Structure 1
Amino acid sequence: MARRIFGVIAVILFVGAVVAGLELYLTRPAPPPAPQPPDEQTALLPPTFLDQGWSGEMREAFYYTPQGSRLLPYAFLLALEQPGREALFLDDRHIAAMGFLPAPAASVRNPDRLPVGFAKDPAPGGPTGPMVGLTCAACHTGEVTLAGARVWIDGGAALGDFQMLMTRLSKALDATLADPVKFARFAARLKEVPQAVRPLLEATATELRRIEAAAYTPHPYGRGRLDAFGHILNAVAAEALQQDANFRIPDAPVSYPFLWTTPAQRYVQWNGVAGNPIGRNLGEVLGVFGHANLAGGNVAAFSSAALIDNLKQLEDWVATLKPPPFPQNLLGPVDPMLAATGAELFKTHCAGCHGGPEYRLTAPEETEGGRRWLAVTMVPQDVVKTDPKMLTNFAGRTAETGMLAPAFGGAPKVPAGGILLLTVNAMVENDLRARGITGDARKAYYGWRFAPGSDKPQAGWSAPLAYKAGPLAGIWATGPFLHNGSVPTVYDLLSPEDERPKAFYVGATRYDAKKLGFVSGEDELSAAEKAKAFRFDTALPGNSNAGHPFPEPRLKPQDRYAIIEYLKILEGPR
């Protein structure tokens, strides 16, 4: 299978050797995108924001602080055109068509108006200059259209199409190489000699073809979903470990989870396997082009492109993020009597797993210093009965150890998650040790997730196979629902399985305040809205909308609406 995963760093270094001696100046600041004709200019209105506890400055920092993701050269992205068009790849309309959020304006942190969650890496780079990649906000900034207003939800579930982005980048690079006129415009924007640019662009195009191929799945993810663990395990166990046999098709996409309250939770990720924040965040970087270096199997020398300090800073910012308040000024007032009825129903039927308005905390004796975390409930899959593919793909995946066999007692094959855990822990420890960060300062990087008297961070959930039932404050702004995004509204989730939509559209942002979710039905959307959205088919593998059969017997419609009314005002943990 022609999917051998080569690191972009190796490719760039190789090409750097080929063109050694050429006087390139790609490290100079790239010029701003060329002005576009009026029909290419975006008509998008500027976004508005809800009070989630962040200042504009903090929001901007979260949007553009790099985390160590290196996708392609920064200057190349600025100069790149769309395939088949002269318009720039970063044109607002093009970015929005892929579900990502164009920046409203240039700023000190984002002088070239990168889309939200695209960030320039601080490393000087090779002959192509600094790289650009993704940061947290690309997947964790939502958008909802409320009463005609574009409202951005900080820490919410994004609606970007990851596979579409990779495919269009790859095709844009290939088109630039194939078309002499397009290539001349590209080189002119870089202000470089075309002959010097071509081999570097060819290397970048080769790498993007590899990335596109590695992201291929028989059924597209669509908007707002990604098989994060599939990509992370491929990056570590196949690419970094140089074991082609360990590659698996990343075919268990999940919705991007919302971020508020996550820094306080005992377990995170849909399957609960992450037990400390720095390990979770570093693993995420490896899945989005963070480039793991396993140093020939020398665990003490493992490293990556991940920016550990930035990851900690991003986590600290998220810890201050509040759930988005339901905007009654835009969507109408909450019915207090109906919400009161819903509160009683929620307490009876929902709070046992999800908590709220009183939230359970871990026992003081579980964590060093008596620190307490939100005690999230892990619900076994055979109880919740939702689509199992995400769980089984991760738990059932094994990997050949290759150069890491000595670290696993000589075992030729181990669970792939074990290789990830070893890799992430070693990278964090190596980084902290190299900088002399010890004691309480070290433990702060791990979010203080240590058992009393232990020097090792606490582990995540392991068995049985289960999905996390997290807090629901702010849930109104985070559809579609279930871990795989297979149910469009809260009303549908509270309904029997046979009443849930078998297909719906993801990507339209008009909001349904009655059912709590996006307007998504075949008969509800215009032809233009459907053309820009993704049709979600629950009959496809990994897309099942079954499960969550709670409560039993099923609630009557008026009781479902009562719970919905209460969810609009459910407060998060204090």
Structure 2
Amino acid sequence: MRSLLILPFALLILGGCNNVETKILKELKKIENTVRPLAELMKSNQEPTPEPEVVTNIWWAEQGWTEQEREWFWHIPQGTQIMPYDWFVALERPKNEGEGLFIEQDYMMRFGFIPSQKTEQNPDNLPIGFVKDARFVNPMNGEKVTMAGITCAACHTGQINYNGEGLVIDGGPAMTNVTLFQDKVSVALFETLLPSRRFLRFAKRVLKDEYSLINAIKLLKEVKQFAEKNGQLTTEMINRHLNLVKEGFGRVDALSRIGNVVFGAEIDFENLRAISAPVSYPPLWTVPWFDWAQYNGSIRQPMVRNVGEALGVQAPVNLTATDKEQLFNSSVHVDNLHEIENLLAGDKRLSGLQAPKWPTKMLGPINDNLKQQGQKLYEEHCQKCHLPPVDSKTIMQDRYWEEPNKYGKRYLITHNIDLNVIGTDPAEVFDFYERQAETKGLGLGEIFANRGLQVVTEAVANKWYDENDISPEKRIEMNGDRENIVLSPLKYRARPLNGVWSTPPYLHNGSVPNLYELLSPWEERSKQFYVGSKEFEPEKVGFVNTQFTGAFLMDTTLAGNTNTGHEFNDAEEVKKKDNNVERKGIIGPKLTEKERKALIEYLKTL
């Protein structure tokens, strides 16, 4: 009898659930004509994701950080936004990518992200480079939101694999495809808004015990508004045909993307410019001690560099407010950027994060005879531009350091090499040199990119300083004891080569797969090769060239991808062969096979 009484109540509850779901599905149907074209447009710009690359054993390079410092760096927020955190951990993968949540380890590894571990700082076991940011404040309305964001470590934590083992390298260039990740996130979010049970599952994960018709429809409206707003930049880039050169794994057109976010998405889409000069993620060790940062040696001050980077990876800033009090409000965590810089720099010259040492147990021993021969070649052909080894006594000589600035600080003098001398692909340099933007409400008129970046990043930092009552002395310290100078030189910077063995592919645009080809004549360099695998090739020092589903084909015949310059060759012989035209970028004599191997052996030890 009791079961007969319970049955009507059960049916009533089930009927109520079905009624709620039916009404939600009707709401989804109402917006389908708006959402579906956007979802299809996002999908049109996509590559497939590769299968995750798995190793049986993984370990970490010894680079002077404690385990606590390492994990802090992996998951410290800088104020960027992917989407509200509860949405991100509830989001399913794009429909054509299989079943499961987006954040699951096997799926995130497809983009090259490195698994982390579950901690208080990382409660949902997200990969290295992702964060739950409880301090995020929307600069447009002042609303506090717990946000999923990307950290510095997403692009600056490397990994090399060899025979089933993996070595994680803090501050190294990541073999990640962040652009593909962002595109897939957009597709997954728009597909969540299509009329199917996908949104119902999403809403139940997000709302949990507060799941109801009213709350689900409220969530639906919020997701739609967010997806459309944050999809505008991608939509404009696709519709304007501005994705000219694919970035792929391990690269991003950093300066163009910063400009497109700051001057395009935040001010006027007419300021958008093409993605045409991707560059490899640079290693971070030693950088805080350089006189100038960026591949083109354009930025003097660490805070400007770091604020610009945060803005470029979607830390929103208010550049359109009519209320001047709201202008330059941003979500950027200036204090965290300062702490990150301090951790990288250390408290003594050239301390802080160290370059990784060649792992002999994993990759084999160093040949001492070859190394000694290579050292002589380095001193003869490389040291003039790339400086003595940073772990040598020589590098501490005064001639390698600037005179103390007005704050009493000295920085390592790096050499910026003229384009006509180095001969490498000029796209990044010219894009930044030529770019202009209309600043609209900022009142600066049309300005060049270097000036615009200088003004906006300084204003963002100063806004944070003002709101947090930071003293003038502390501001100078947080700015890295350096003036805010942003140039646009037609040059590329030569950096010290400590850890160079762990940073393939080579040249600023990643157009040369290994050190052996970098030391070879241009004609002997690969015109095409595949990027995406972390499997290392220790003899030539680079990643293996393997074709697989989702691999990125690096085509060096395309502008922005060219692999010319920084060449060791017989200049006179080349000139005769090239109809008496002098080839740019021949910086040293043609090296024999033995000399190349010797120089590589020495470079492994830096």
Query: Once the 2 structures are TM-superposed, how far is the Cα of residue 207 of structure 1 from its aligned partner?
Result: 3.1
Residues 1:272 and 2:289 are matched in the alignment: no
CA distance in 2, matches of 1:346, 1:283: 35
Query: Once the 2 structures are TM-superposed, how far is the Cα of residue 299 of structure 1 from its aligned partner?
Result: 9.1
CA distance in 2, matches of 1:561, 1:200: 59
* Cα deviations by residue, 1:240-259 (Å, 9 ceiling, x for unpaired): 2x223211122211110000
Residues 1:287 and 2:284 are matched in the alignment: no
CA distance in 2, matches of 1:560, 1:43: 32
* Cα deviations by residue, 1:485-532 (Å, 9 ceiling, x for unpaired): 000001111101110000111111111111111111xxxx3x6xx224
Of 151, 166, 170, the match for 1:150: 166
CA contact (8 A) 1:140 1:257 kept: yes
Of 82, 93, 100, the match for 1:82: 93
Amino acid corresponding to residue 120 of structure 1 in structure 2: K
Residue 221 of structure 2 corresponds to which residue in structure 1? 199
Q: Against the structure 1 CA distance between its residues 472 and 118, is the aligned structure 2 distance closer, same or farther, given a 3 Å change threshold? A: same
- Give SS of 1:509's match: coil
1:31-430 residue pairs with structure 2 within 5 A? 45=56, 47-84=58-95, 85-103=98-116, 105-123=117-135, 129-190=145-206, 191=208, 192-193=211-212, 194-213=216-235, 216=238, 217-240=243-266, 242-294=267-319, 295-296=321-322, 298=324, 301-319=327-345, 320-357=352-389, 358-359=394-395, 363=401, 365-405=403-443, 408=444, 412-430=445-463
Query: Once the 2 structures are TM-superposed, how far is the Cα of residue 302 of structure 1 from its aligned partner?
Result: 2.3
Query: Once the 2 structures are TM-superposed, how far is the Cα of residue 42 of structure 1 from its aligned partner?
Result: 9.6
Of 443, 468, 477, the match for 2:476: 443
Unaligned runs of 5+ in 2: 1-50, 346-351, 569-586
- Give SS of 2:549's match: helix
CA contact (8 A) 1:128 1:200 kept: no
CA contact (8 A) 1:508 1:532 kept: no
CA distance in 2, matches of 1:301, 1:179: 39
Query: Once the 2 structures are TM-superposed, how far is the Cα of residue 433 of structure 1 from its aligned partner?
Result: 3.1
Amino acid corresponding to residue 194 of structure 2 in structure 1: A
Amino acid corresponding to residue 99 of structure 2 in structure 1: E
CA distance in 2, matches of 1:59, 1:179: 43
Larger radius of gyration: 2
Q: Against the structure 1 CA distance between its residues 363 and 568, is the aligned structure 2 distance closer, same or farther, given a 3 Å change threshold? A: closer
CA distance in 2, matches of 1:114, 1:212: 25
Q: Against the structure 1 CA distance between its residues 301 and 189, is the aligned structure 2 distance closer, same or farther, given a 3 Å change threshold? A: closer
Amino acid corresponding to residue 168 of structure 2 in structure 1: W
* TM-align CA RMSD: 2.2
Of 537, 545, 562, the match for 2:555: 537
CA distance in 2, matches of 1:123, 1:369: 32
Q: Against the structure 1 CA distance between its residues 195 and 519, is the aligned structure 2 distance closer, same or farther, given a 3 Å change threshold? A: same
Query: Once the 2 structures are TM-superposed, how far is the Cα of residue 297 of structure 1 from its aligned partner?
Result: 8.7
Query: Once the 2 structures are TM-superposed, how far is the Cα of residue 63 of structure 1 from its aligned partner?
Result: 0.4
Amino acid corresponding to residue 223 of structure 2 in structure 1: L
* Cα deviations by residue, 1:7-33 (Å, 9 ceiling, x for unpaired): xxxxxxxxxxxxxxxxxxxxxxxxxxx
Residue 579 of structure 2 corresponds to which residue in structure 1? none
CA distance in 1, matches of 2:233, 2:328: 23
Amino acid corresponding to residue 74 of structure 1 in structure 2: Y
Q: Against the structure 1 CA distance between its residues 224 and 213, is the aligned structure 2 distance closer, same or farther, given a 3 Å change threshold? A: farther
CA distance in 2, matches of 1:349, 1:142: 28
Amino acid corresponding to residue 171 of structure 1 in structure 2: V
Query: Once the 2 structures are TM-superposed, how far is the Cα of residue 205 of structure 1 from its aligned partner?
Result: 2.2
* Cα deviations by residue, 1:198-247 (Å, 9 ceiling, x for unpaired): 1112123213432433565133211011111111112222232x223211
* Cα deviations by residue, 1:411-446 (Å, 9 ceiling, x for unpaired): x32212211111111222232233332343221111
Q: Against the structure 1 CA distance between its residues 518 and 363, is the aligned structure 2 distance closer, same or farther, given a 3 Å change threshold? A: closer
Residue 13 of structure 1 corresponds to which residue in structure 2? none
Tell me whether 45-54 or 285-294 shows the greater mean CA deviation: 45-54
- Give SS of 1:223's match: coil
Query: Once the 2 structures are TM-superposed, how far is the Cα of residue 71 of structure 1 from its aligned partner?
Result: 2.0
CA distance in 2, matches of 1:559, 1:69: 46
* Cα deviations by residue, 1:367-394 (Å, 9 ceiling, x for unpaired): 1244221111100111111111111111
Q: Against the structure 1 CA distance between its residues 458 and 75, is the aligned structure 2 distance closer, same or farther, given a 3 Å change threshold? A: closer
CA distance in 2, matches of 1:210, 1:238: 10
CA contact (8 A) 1:166 1:211 kept: no
CA distance in 2, matches of 1:562, 1:164: 38
Amino acid corresponding to residue 325 of structure 1 in structure 2: K
CA distance in 2, matches of 1:328, 1:42: 23
Amino acid corresponding to residue 568 of structure 1 in structure 2: K
CA distance in 2, matches of 1:56, 1:177: 41
Query: Once the 2 structures are TM-superposed, how far is the Cα of residue 56 of structure 1 from its aligned partner?
Result: 1.2
Residue 25 of structure 1 corresponds to which residue in structure 2? none
Unaligned runs of 5+ in 1: 1-39, 450-456
Q: Against the structure 1 CA distance between its residues 342 and 461, is the aligned structure 2 distance closer, same or farther, given a 3 Å change threshold? A: farther
Q: Against the structure 1 CA distance between its residues 443 and 125, is the aligned structure 2 distance closer, same or farther, given a 3 Å change threshold? A: closer
CA contact (8 A) 1:231 1:287 kept: yes
